[in-house]
Amino acid sequence: MRVLFMGTPDFAVPSLEAIAEAGHDIVAAVSQPDRPKGRGHKTQPTDIKIAAQKIGIPVYQPETLKNNAFLDKLEELGPDIIIVAAYGKILPGYILDYPKYGCINVHGSLLPKYRGAAPIQRCVINGDKITGVTTMYMDRELDTGDIILKEQVEIGEAETAGELFDRLARLGGKLIVKTIEALENGTAPRIKQDDDAATYAPMMEKSTGHIDWTKTSGEIINLIRGVNPWPIAYSEYKGDVMKIFRASASDGDGAPGEVLGLRDKKIEIACRGGSVLIEELQMRGGRRMSAESYLNGHSIEPGEILK
């Protein structure tokens, strides 16, 4: 089976590698164009471009897919199936309709829950205990296509979105290989999604990480986990931004956002119905460190309010 792979970030890499290791004929990889990254804003290759070049697969990075812009290359490559994992752009109809076995998507949730751009982060923020990966036939709408296979995993109590992201990426690689095999031998199911059970996972923004101290400790800790490693949870302390990477729940009492003091070498902040113990943080211009290390060189004043 001739496979065209479409993906861009690191989530897609295990799927590409697994397909290659399974011996399938990958005719090319398609990724979004290289973009400037980091403080120096230097143009960096996408994760899929790097992975494809290591495997020895041609890479194409069209600026647009609209108006049949990629049709000539598609006809030249002649894929039997197109595998899509976090490509980052809506595929036009001429691509969706081209391959014999369809366009198959690897999605980081148990559809129909968490359709959209940020399913892994949103399930952690919402405090879910179970998630997984789904492969599906792509259609014209966002993540609404018929389901082929699913596999679920438990979410660790303290697991961050970044840690879960890595696990689901590897799981996606295993599941897409099973999916291709099922399509080849004619055993792939086609299960319609229940639209009434669907939920949406909108794209993450920096503001998503803003902590509302009027929420419970559980809600706040889930947010801290869900926005790690990006955009990172934050609050304001003495007019400066405090980024918070890890925290745990406690039973302190005070006004929402009030600094209660120190407990177990951690910074205790009041919230609704309890408190949060900040374990790892970073102040603007400083480095990321444990609360204990921060307190070795800085003081925290009880009664101050984090905004």
pLDDT tens figures, 159-210: 999 999 999 999 999 999 999 999 999 999 999 999 999 999 999 999 999 9
Q: Show the domain range for 267.
A: 206-297
One domain, residues 92 and 22: yes
What is the identity of the amino acid at 21? Answer: E
Residue 303 counted as domain residue = no
One domain, residues 153 and 240: no
**Cα–Cα distance measured from residue 12 to residue 178, given in angstroms and rounded to the nearest whole number:** 16
232-279: pLDDT as tens digits: 999 999 889 999 999 999 999 999 999 999 999 999 999 999 999 999
217-236: pLDDT as tens digits: 999 999 999 999 999 999 99
For 263, half-sphere exposure in the C-beta direction (CA atoms, 13 angstrom radius) is 18
One domain, residues 98 and 30: yes
Residue 302 counted as domain residue = no
| Residue 299 in this model has a pLDDT that exceeds 90 | no
Residue 305 counted as domain residue = no
Residue 183 counted as domain residue = yes
Asked if residues 226 and 124 have their Cβ atoms less than 8 Å apart, the reply is: yes
Mean pLDDT score of the chain: 96
Buried b (16+ CB within 10 A) or exposed e, 176-213: bbbbbeebeeeebeeeebeeeeeeebeebeeebbebeb
One domain, residues 216 and 188: no
Q: Of 201, 225, 248, which residue constitutes the final position of a domain? A: 201
pTM: 0.95
pLDDT of residue 40: 73
| Residue 39 in this model has a pLDDT that exceeds 80 | no
One domain, residues 254 and 197: no
| Residue 304 in this model has a pLDDT that exceeds 90 | yes
One domain, residues 187 and 247: no
Q: Of 175, 201, 227, which residue constitutes the final position of a domain? A: 201
Distance, C-alpha 47 to centroid of its chain: 14
- Structural domain count, the chain: 2
One domain, residues 105 and 175: yes
C-alpha dihedral sign at 264, 268, 270, 276: negative
One domain, residues 7 and 130: yes
One domain, residues 228 and 179: no
| Residue 307 in this model has a pLDDT that exceeds 90 | no
| CATH number of the domain residue 126 falls in | 3.40.50.170
Q: Of 201, 231, 257, which residue constitutes the final position of a domain? A: 201
One domain, residues 191 and 112: yes
Percentage of the chain beyond pLDDT 90 is 94
Question: Torsions phi, psi of 151, nearest 5?
Answer: -145, 130
